[in-house]
Structure 1
């Protein structure tokens, strides 16, 4: 019996048959800005097609120069570009896949001087003020979408997706917030819907009915002045009537103050908005956002909430997601943990996307392991992210690997991370590592008291040390006071914590500890709690789907301190830091910068700020003051003349940087 019958069912859409119900959602990658761009993009999509995904949606390509997101962003408006696109479609088709080109006009989100919009209001997240499109230019843009669709067909794509969501140009036309026009494309709800409908009609006039056309609709805008649920349903019905073969659902605008895809958002939280679209139409509907396991996807499809599921980042994490699901091996799926560190955070800082749990993503032409000359016996000491990643990748290449871990379980500091509210997805990461190690037959030795003398005599060809980090203890008087705890004491559960707490250090670890202490755990796993905290109207009655947020009392009073005289959290992840800061502000966490620490004693924390000595009476003071490389064992190996390599935190102690550790370990394993 098939484990996922609904997820693995085929589906006929227009002239094409999807082999399953898994869609790789469109995402920005910036691969086109690197060297050998067409080769990189082709390899990226070919790898996902080989993994048996039902349909691939490309990153957004603008139909004209005004609509590109930024200089050098993808543009498809000329016949001269067809050849480069054929290299992509042919690569996907040769691997047995289907691929559709997403057409995206950025509108007022465009970061260049040609930026345009339905009106001249500047977006909150963009310093560029848009120029209002004339009526003639609106009609020309409609024709540009139709022409780009025709070009996509000539280039061998199996369809197009029209991006009408996430606050881009089409979405800007449908919302009162951004459409203040007085011509035939503004004013009433019917007039505001006209732009997307005319695009679909123009496309059908140009290419007929056989070519697949998907429309990505904003199921809920999550901005004041956005569309209500009934308006979204009406738009969905009209979009279907105008020629869309499928509707894909988008959630929220990029400028929304509500998170939509981070790990702090509960899985399948947006089902209520997707079901509103599904109930309005007869064509297939694709569900999206925070769907990252085959079990969750199967449940969603089995209940009839949608007909397909869109997964973007999960296909970064594991391009073989669909294949492993078909084979009934869900435990071997390298699950997306929604951390955004290597994908969105890199995109928002002008870099190309990859994946924390899968550093090969986007680098398929770089991570090509050469055949091994002989199978080596390798020892890796340390069972954290770096050690496990090295063991897995080296074993996959055919080497014999023994993994030594001093603790009773694998994971290292992953076991601390997964205790933090909003980071429960790290459980999936650890599950994948454990399952993969067992499947590959890696010799895992827990509770191992490793000594360099154990490795004399040539038992191993190479030894890799991945012993991680230890907390840095600051030079503060009273650092050994009973009130003082380290982040390991707190997140590891070995110490109880009082009702009032001072956290020294406001990097990522300090913010994680604050989250842990104020008690936000339900918000990341229970949709109703999440909706209340962020002011989401799951009834869809309000415009934009927003209502006033409800605050709950935090478990503790938390104070955060840092020496630097700058806002706390300035260096947190670009796409997730604002979420974390918002949650802590709601929990009344006080954030204090520009301090000099004096001492800790029975009275509490003594510190100086603005030249004044102050005392904060707290039950505990928690040190989150960085990490140091745990290199004692490495130094002992060197002292005894035994050659070893060092990776991960033992090599460089950053902010518990699993991204760097896993990539470094993977590269070394491929090179051995």
Structure 2
């Protein structure tokens, strides 16, 4: 077994964990206002335990509603929360998985301004992270004492619920981190100054937990070892804290990098690549003999490398286990090819929580947080299902319909499945999109879907008449505006540029259209192909359609690759001397050896409309035919269509 090392047991204190894979702590934003866990969150964690992960760490639960400052992850201040916690713990234990209660005294200065009615609390009177005009309330010693009492009570609740261990959330620039870090801790009492003083708050929390749970229950401590912003705590500086914390009461350190000043390291997008935070382990290993856990865009291969290196003892997977809860079992049974990859897109996990104030889901797994409602079952009356289009919507519809036991045939005009999803996945930072296309090919073969490639459906075929259900997802094509000179031989559309890079001539490339697809193409051409790239966007901002956390990394890497971004700039014509643009300052001419048209996409509707007109009662349009969107939107519509067939 290639991944055998990942399935060896290992101990944290006296607690043995069955394998080296741990589900990272991630909030689901789904608890009730009384602090109690919702049934859907319980089902969500039980489903991950069933999938074979060795240990699950819940997202941080706050000591009480005031400290939570608007967080919807649950509170640990009342015995009333115990029944739901016990149900979750018992359900996870059913599968031999350990479960850890992560406790937090709050987000501190990181509290969202629109979810609370008072200034946030912090170690010192410093500006709020999201509104510098709001000055935080510096905790008094009396308030710190109350936090320690609340910590002891919360730990007792976790013990009574049956948790296997407790983790302290001292990560991401939250309250404990604000005490530990000189950039935020300006105190001149026993909680400020030296490394020993700055860790006092944390050590008092550890002691409070130890009083509640006794000497045998493991305590884990989660912290960032490298804030990654100027003035923040560096890796070297964190080593003194690591040593000051290691007083015999902590059994393991859960370590990575980042904070809210470098938010893309808290929710790493695809641009950061694989294992973007494992670099902290090597130095940490020199300063503590405690068990080490590490997170940060791991996939199966990087997790294996980490464990084999000995620089950490557990590899943590967060979003990959949202995307595929069965990942551990698939690896254990040598079915790596069946693992559905996380795209690291942030769109439906933290994107839903942050942008919409609703619960977590997943771009590639619509069943996440809907494990019961969306459970797929075999149909008692198998139907004949025809799917037209092998993009993400059609592929997901085919997968789900086949799982339900229906007879599925899929028709696609291309030579490989994947549609535009496969076409655009040419950059290194899009490798997970390419893997997703491969995953669907594997799944449709395994599920015996009848796939017809290089087949253009006209709408007149007899098999459409004989079908019980028709699902159409014919995708999009590039939009080309009527700009003088757009027919110039130097102009290619963005899809053609991805399909055949030999069409990209010369060194100077101008991309007309600064949406996410144009910016991604610019980054690929500049960072991987060494081109001199200029992006022209008529709006006041590039990549407006990108998830805001992802844009942090995207714009940084565009700058590092010397890509020129021209906003408030309109392409007026393409002439022999270059691309003519109108700016606020007047006309500008851009030198161009190749011009890429990235003005957007339009749905391909002709065949879909024809089929719908003939067979409306049994036809469903999915993907971009339903609504122009991203891969996750298409997959969701495909899932809905496939699972709605009874």
TM range (shorter): over 0.9
Structure 2 unaligned segments of length 5 or more: list them.
none
* Residue 343 (str. 1) matches residue 349 (str. 2): yes
Aligned match of 1:108: 109
User: Cα deviation per residue 1:219-269 (whole Å; 9 max; x = unaligned)?
Assistant: 222233444445433433443434122221131112127746221223223
Aligned match of 2:643: 670
8 A contact 1:375–1:398 mirrored in 2: yes
After TM superposition, give the deviation of residue 606 of structure 1 in Å: 2.4
* Residue 429 (str. 1) matches residue 436 (str. 2): yes
Partners of 2:610 and 2:544 lie apart in 1 by 38
8 A contact 1:288–1:311 mirrored in 2: yes
8 A contact 2:269–2:345 mirrored in 1: yes
Q: Cα distance 1:234–1:369, how it changes in 2: closer, same or farther (>3 A)?
A: same
* Residue 508 (str. 1) matches residue 516 (str. 2): yes
Partners of 1:280 and 1:297 lie apart in 2 by 22
Q: Which moved more, 1:619-628 or 1:28-37?
A: 28-37
Aligned length: 634
8 A contact 2:28–2:73 mirrored in 1: no
* Residue 271 (str. 1) matches residue 244 (str. 2): no
Give 2:489's match in structure 1, choosing from 472, 479, 482: 482
Q: Which moved more, 1:459-468 or 1:25-34?
A: 25-34
Q: Cα distance 1:73–1:301, how it changes in 2: closer, same or farther (>3 A)?
A: closer
Partners of 2:426 and 2:252 lie apart in 1 by 40
SS in 2 for 1:374: coil
After TM superposition, give the deviation of residue 441 of structure 1 in Å: 1.6
Give 1:321's match in structure 2, choosing from 320, 327, 341: 327
Aligned match of 1:253: 259
TM-score (structure 2 length as normaliser): 0.92
SS in 2 for 1:160: strand
Q: Cα distance 1:5–1:421, how it changes in 2: closer, same or farther (>3 A)?
A: closer
After TM superposition, give the deviation of residue 602 of structure 1 in Å: 1.5
8 A contact 1:506–1:624 mirrored in 2: yes
User: Cα deviation per residue 1:85-115 (whole Å; 9 max; x = unaligned)?
Assistant: 2232233233443221111221111233151
After TM superposition, give the deviation of residue 585 of structure 1 in Å: 2.5
What is the 5 A alignment of 1:405-420? 405-420=412-427
TM-score (structure 1 length as normaliser): 0.89
After TM superposition, give the deviation of residue 51 of structure 1 in Å: 0.8
8 A contact 1:222–1:258 mirrored in 2: no
8 A contact 2:22–2:53 mirrored in 1: yes
8 A contact 2:471–2:641 mirrored in 1: no
CA root-mean-square deviation:
2.4
Give 1:628's match in structure 2, choosing from 586, 599, 602: 602
After TM superposition, give the deviation of residue 367 of structure 1 in Å: 0.9
After TM superposition, give the deviation of residue 73 of structure 1 in Å: 4.8
User: Cα deviation per residue 1:537-590 (whole Å; 9 max; x = unaligned)?
Assistant: xxxxxxxxxxxxxxxxxx3332222233x2223342121012112222233333
What is the 5 A alignment of 1:48-127? 48-70=48-70, 72-104=72-104, 105-111=106-112, 112=116, 113-127=118-132
* Residue 215 (str. 1) matches residue 221 (str. 2): yes
Aligned match of 2:29: 30
After TM superposition, give the deviation of residue 301 of structure 1 in Å: 0.8
8 A contact 2:378–2:403 mirrored in 1: no
Partners of 2:225 and 2:603 lie apart in 1 by 47
What is the 5 A alignment of 1:179-218? 179-218=185-224
Q: Which moved more, 1:481-490 or 1:105-114?
A: 105-114
Aligned match of 1:472: 479
After TM superposition, give the deviation of residue 619 of structure 1 in Å: 2.4
Partners of 1:640 and 1:208 lie apart in 2 by 71
What is the 5 A alignment of 1:40-51? 40-51=40-51
Q: Which moved more, 1:87-96 or 1:53-62?
A: 87-96
Aligned match of 2:403: 396
Greater relative contact order: 1 or 2 (C-alpha under 8 angstroms, separation 6 or more)? 1
8 A contact 1:465–1:646 mirrored in 2: yes
Structure 1 unaligned segments of length 5 or more: list them.
522-554
